[in-house]
Chains A and B, each alone.
Chain A
């Protein structure tokens, strides 16, 4: 599992992905972690098939005792089906996830980790020095969905928004935005159900100071490519399966 440090200040943001050990037919995913001394937040830790690679990669950057918080943006298996294993590895940890999915996510196995229900309007979480905000992204694509914004590091972990379907050896960053559009277009048109939800999210996100937009699949947008993405997404018609 490749790991890339995307912010290295008072604390670190690390992106994980491009796992060479994952079974071929499962979609490649990006996982993110904020390491802040004795507290760490692991975001969208991934599916059961990548658990071992993910845990080993995480332990390159922190000790298991310092892995205190997990975030699940929504309930999909590629986001959190590994929960039953994390539950055994980190019995004292806390899972932050949308309130509407609690009864569903518990099906993945949750006997030890405590569940913090994020209300629809969002919530903040403070690690040691990192102050992170769970911002609503409902219907993008899941009906209960959050992203993670870090005003200090200027990073938005944007879940499935900005996702692209790519080969496992692709670069971690978007280099040519125009060329990248082809890899994102169908994903957003077909997986995102609501133009109204999309516009509401864009209006809110445009007010944030963002240097990196980090999706759960594909490549990270940096600098001007964040604005390019928001402009492109605004003009895209989504929910195309309903004619």
Chain B
């Protein structure tokens, strides 16, 4: 796991967007495996009939995971862009403040105060946007995590169904192994991403 202790929010948000790509790739693998399972369950007729609803569920879940991961990745990227903009606005605010402290003419100071006020408004708005992104990301991660928990149970059931599938047993066991491995990978990625998200939330709340 990348160390985030010393990283600014715009880097952590980009790290999050980057990690989501891995989740997306795993979900695609999961989708392919569940399509294979569907084909076998159709070919196997009554021997594999119990496997079909399970593979349908996994297939739908993989598609949803792809869709939600893409959405999270896009929001995380917007978060990073917003955090960069906040950093630039903060830097400008600091520079203008230094100038204000160096000049004595009140009219000139007032014109710079006007700019600083606008910057402060912008910074407040950018922070609010980041807070909103955090909230949204938390909801979306909870959604994926819930689906993955369900997928793990489904994979266990699919092993029971596979054991009844006679000559299709080995193929279905192999697919169940693959689905289980994908579920574990996605669960692990969710854990990492949530860790980043908690760091981001803490940073925003302490700003």
Contact = CB atoms under 8 A, between A and B. Distances in A.
A binds B: yes
Interface of A: 21, 48, 51-53, 55-60, 63-65, 85, 88-89, 91
Nearest to B19: A59
Given A60-B18, A88-B8, A88-B11, A55 B81 contact: no
Nearest to A60: B21
A88 B8 CA distance: 7
Tell me whether chain A's interface is mostly helix, strand or loop, or mixed: helix
Contacts of A48: 84, 88
Nearest to A58: B18
Contacts of B87: 85
B80 A89 contact: no
Interface in B78-96: 80-81, 83-84, 87-88
Tell me whether chain B's interface is mostly helix, strand or loop, or mixed: helix
B165 interface: no
Q: Ordered nearest first, which 9 A-B pairs have the shortest CB separation?
A: A59-B18, A52-B80, A56-B17, A55-B14, A60-B21, A89-B11, A56-B14, A52-B81, A56-B18
Q: In which size bucket is the chain B interface?
A: 20 to 34
28 contacts: A21-B77, A48-B84, A52-B17, A52-B80, A52-B81, A52-B83, A52-B84, A53-B77, A53-B81, A55-B11, A55-B14, A55-B15, A56-B14, A56-B17, A56-B18, A57-B18, A58-B18, A59-B18, A59-B19, A60-B21, A63-B2, A85-B10, A85-B84, A88-B11, A89-B7, A89-B8, A89-B11, A91-B6
A53 B14 CA distance: 8
Given A64-B2, A85-B84, A56 B76 contact: yes
Contacts of B88: 48
Interface string B1-28: 0110011101101110111011000000
Contacts of A88: 7-8, 11
A52 B14 contact: yes
Contacts of B2: 63-65
